[in-house]
Amino acid sequence: MPRSKIDLPFDVEYLSILDERGELDKKLEPEIPQDLLHQLHRAMLLGRRFDERLLSLQRQGRIGTFGPITGQEASQLGAVGPLFPSDWMVPSFRETAAQIYRGVPMESIILTYGGYNEAALLIEKGHDLPVAIPVSSQIPHAVGLAWGIKYRKKDDVVMTFFGDGGTSQGDFHESMNFASVYQVPLVFVCQNNQWAISVPRSRQSHSKTLAQKALAYDMPGIQVDGNDLLAVYAAAKEAVDRARSGQGPSMIECVTYRLMMHTTADDPKRYRKEEEVEQWKKRDPLIRFQKYLKDKGLLTDQKVEELESEIKSEIQAAVELAEELMKKYSDPLQMFEHAYAEMPPYLKQQRGQLEKELAEGRGKEEDHD
């Protein structure tokens, strides 16, 4: 018998709508309401300035290490833009702007990076999971949520984020397979920022794209300019609508770049050239989106200045509140709270023992004084 070509249902496309010079392809421009455009721009600007403030706090020793997001705002905000509040977002650890946009208070994020598990107490409502530090460990949880939604016959959607390095993990492939087999309402969003800590994209996979990995699991995969908010939004809207209508999962590869360090414990100058960083700075998603809004008559330099002032005050208030809460949550006895609805007897005993030792320690200090 002769060889014959197997007909596969999907191809991989690349989508760019607003290029790095701010030139718009009007034929591809998605219909985004003006109020949502303003919300997304404010979220981008807030995410950028908050990132800068977090770095300052970390360098001053006021919080611990964290993963900066500068340069990746469009890839996460464009993705969550089409989601409903009832939908679920399952982040990795570099989706700060999306978390804030989805309702996580900035003071909660500051407390998290300060090492306080009480940060979760500040999140009163929402359908977002906490950040996940181990690479790709969050993706199976996202699949489980999506399977639960389908089992209960709800029309919610789950969106999960991971990096290019995450596609090298077994958790990613197992989750893609499960999601496709059971046709769950899930959108996989890969923030391909070119570096998995110090390992370049070229050492992660020999595939021409990461999006094509979706084809092996019989789901749509698309590669987009991750610094183009319009392209990310358009791709995400298609994927979210597809999932909500019962047509199963999709994967979006956002080609972007990490302008800062992997985390504040990292020195990127040891493994990448500054010339590379400078080239990507010319593709800044915030500057590009601001030009788009100005060209549409939806934004002015004066409005940007007003927003900058508002955001600066908002961030400062969050920092002050977080540091007040750090004083409140500094009691070691807090570690016993919030894990159980009813504290087990053995923990009550341990809590009592620690309380006694702390009291004795304070007594000795007073005697010494």
Q: Which of 41, 258, 283, 288 is catalytic?
A: 258
Reduced to 3 states (helix: H, G, I; strand: E, B; else coil), residue 344 is: coil
Can you tell me whether residue 223 is helix, strand or coil?
Answer: strand
User: Looking at 262, 283, 292, 329, which residue is catalytic?
Assistant: 262
**pLDDT values of the chain reduced to their tens digit, one per residue, 369 residues:** 789 988 888 899 999 999 999 999 999 999 999 999 999 999 999 999 999 999 999 999 999 999 999 999 999 999 999 999 999 999 999 999 999 999 999 999 999 999 998 898 899 888 999 999 999 999 999 999 999 999 999 999 999 999 999 999 999 999 999 999 999 999 999 999 999 999 999 998 999 999 999 999 999 999 999 999 999 999 999 999 999 999 999 999 999 999 999 999 999 999 999 999 999 999 999 999 999 999 999 999 999 999 999 999 999 999 999 999 999 888 888 888 878 999 999 999 999 999 999 988 776 666 665
pLDDT tens readout for residues 24-80: 999 999 999 999 999 999 999 999 999 999 999 999 999 999 999 999 999 999 999
The pTM is what? 0.92
The helix-helix angle for 34-59 and 106-113 (nearest 10°) equals 30
> What local confidence, expressed as pLDDT, does residue 338 receive?
77
Question: How does pLDDT run across 301-339, given as a tens digit for each residue?
Answer: 999 999 999 999 999 999 999 999 999 888 888 888 878
- CA angle 226/229/232 to nearest 5° reads 60
Annotated active-site residue 258? The verdict is yes
Q: Which two tokens stand for residue 225?
A: 């300019």
Residue pair 180/249 in contact (Cβ under 8 Å)? The answer is yes
Alpha carbon distance 195, 82 (integer Å): 27
The token pair at 93 is 């650890």
Which neighbouring-strand residues pair with 250?
187
Tokens 């007594």 — which residue?
A: 363
Report the pLDDT value the prediction gives residue 361, as an integer from 0 to 100: 77
E strand or H helix that includes residue 251:
strand 250-255
Residue 345, Cβ density class (10 Å: 0-12 exposed, 13-18 middle, ≥19 buried): exposed
Is 53 tagged catalytic? no
262 is catalytic: yes
Catalytic residue among 21, 271, 338, 362: 271
